[in-house]
Structure 1
């Protein structure tokens, strides 16, 4: 797998080049936006690690040019840590966004995930019946009315939307949302579902969260026999 790093800071660029090579990748390094874009357009890379603030042209300008050229995977690695920056990067078509200072182990894991799953990117917006979930803006509406959710409630609803129509076990939900092994004596999932239902379902005519007996929960149209 061949990676292009576009990074103007000498220490960071050299560190990334050395570390990624030691992790088994072929790595090219560019220290300016102008040279980096030309390298990306003239060579076949599996992934580009892209800074935002660069000499010549910046990462925001490089990103659309990469998308016009093709579907190379792009990971923004930048000190720009505002939510608006992350939204902008992902809306421009980046596959991932990691903020400096960063863990090199996390960077490698994210790169491996991107290379393993290919160019398919997660949807930015999910629409199920009259419910709309905007991932980037962390905004949920139903029948046009905005619904205020806690962070965990949003993560739970995001999971349900991503896996719409699938019966999700409590074990899977606990692992995905709370990063915990499910203990049958713990009712954290059921309590969270109850609170989410109070906001997402109860004020509206048609429920979207359904219990699947002896399994867990499903989101969307009610499965046969579900309450």
Structure 2
């Protein structure tokens, strides 16, 4: 999942970038509202974390301007623990808020919940035929037996199951799973998809992940 982080406190920005990357997000970070707005309008994000107190363009205005063009979920970070500020953030277009200081685990849980809701999947446990994905615990089961996936294999699978029946190009997968400086011409996506197929559908390799020649992939969303 590709995530935009806009936080002007350098230490916190670095800490959150590291923690979110460890959670499997491809993080683009900005330290002011102007740069954050540029990224938000130029890149197709899955979710954003935005601090209210930003230089150049404050967080509330940033959210409002993003909402003119983009619909991805936004979580606001605020040091202003007053209900008026929370209401202002929600009215500007944010989907949730988190008051500082906060525990990283709560941030992770809120982000997962927002992503589930944005994809129309309120239940963290997703079932497709004999394949079960627990997105809250990042666990996968095939015929009720655990499937051992690498962190990146799971990221690829989760993006597919968040977008069932949608045609997804290699470029789109790359943009949502990697940092900005990743080599977009790499064939590594094909390698991971092949390995993933072998693990989640060993009897029929293309049962879940179907190749659309010359266009990309489609995940079989039959449940």
**TM interval, short-chain normalised:** 0.5 to 0.7
Kindly indicate whether the alpha-carbon contact (under 8 Å) linking 1:73 and 1:119 is maintained by their aligned counterparts in 2. no
Question: How many aligned residue pairs are there?
Answer: 120
List runs of 5+ in structure 1 lacking aligned partners: 121-227
Residue 92 in structure 1 maps to residue 97 in structure 2: no
Residue 111 in structure 1 maps to residue 103 in structure 2: no
| Counterpart position of 1:57 | 57
| Counterpart position of 1:74 | 74
SS at match of 1:108: helix
Kindly indicate whether the alpha-carbon contact (under 8 Å) linking 1:17 and 1:27 is maintained by their aligned counterparts in 2. yes
**Partner Cα distance (2:64, 2:77) in 1:** 16
| Counterpart position of 2:27 | 27
Superposed displacement of residue 92, structure 1: 1.2
Kindly indicate whether the alpha-carbon contact (under 8 Å) linking 1:72 and 1:119 is maintained by their aligned counterparts in 2. no
| Counterpart position of 1:165 | none
| Counterpart position of 1:13 | 13
Higher relative contact order (CA 8 A, sep 6+): 2
SS at match of 2:85: helix
Kindly indicate whether the alpha-carbon contact (under 8 Å) linking 1:50 and 1:74 is maintained by their aligned counterparts in 2. yes
Residue 40 in structure 1 maps to residue 40 in structure 2: yes
> Deviation digits for residues 168-224 of structure 1, max 9, x if unmatched?
xxxxxxxxxxxxxxxxxxxxxxxxxxxxxxxxxxxxxxxxxxxxxxxxxxxxxxxxx
Kindly indicate whether the alpha-carbon contact (under 8 Å) linking 2:2 and 2:27 is maintained by their aligned counterparts in 1. yes
| Counterpart position of 2:152 | none
Kindly indicate whether the alpha-carbon contact (under 8 Å) linking 1:71 and 1:119 is maintained by their aligned counterparts in 2. no
SS at match of 2:86: helix
| Counterpart position of 2:158 | none
**Partner Cα distance (2:5, 2:42) in 1:** 15
SS at match of 1:4: strand
Kindly indicate whether the alpha-carbon contact (under 8 Å) linking 1:63 and 1:93 is maintained by their aligned counterparts in 2. yes
* TM-score, with structure 2 as normaliser: 0.53
Give me the CA root mean square deviation.
Answer: 1.1
Kindly indicate whether the alpha-carbon contact (under 8 Å) linking 2:61 and 2:92 is maintained by their aligned counterparts in 1. no
In our comparison, the structure showing a higher alpha carbon Rg is: 1
